[in-house]
A and B are shown apart, each in its own frame.
Chain A
Amino acid sequence: MSTCEVKLYNGRSLFYACNPTEGIKSGEFSELQKAVGEHLETPQFMPVDVANDTGVIRGTVKDLDNEETPYKIRVWLLAEYEPEKL
Chain B
Amino acid sequence: MMREIRRSEGLNGEDEKYLIRRKLLPVEVIIDKSGQVKTFRVKLSPGIMRITGVMTTMDTMVPAVQGDPVWYFGPGNAPNLFNSAFITRLRSGAFNRSFFSFRHTLDKGQWLYYAQPVSMNFFFVWGGAEFRKRATVPITDPDTGFTEDYDIWVSEEGPGQMHITVEIEE
Contact = CB atoms under 8 A, between A and B. Distances in A.
A56 B42 contact: yes
B50 interface: yes
A42 B60 contact: no
Interface size class of chain B, counting residues whose CB lies under 8 Å from the partner chain: 35 or more
A41 B26 contact: no
B58 A26 contact: yes
Contacts of B54: 6, 8, 17-18, 20, 23, 42, 45, 75-78
Residue of B18, B39, B53, B58 with most chain A CB atoms under a 10 A cut-off: B53
Interface size class of chain A, counting residues whose CB lies under 8 Å from the partner chain: 35 or more
Contacts of A37: 2, 4, 22, 24, 53
B33 A81 contact: no
A80 B48 contact: yes
Interface string A15-56: 001101001111111000011111011100101111000011
Interface of A: 3-4, 6, 8, 17-18, 20, 23-29, 34-38, 40-42, 45, 47-50, 55-63, 65, 67-86
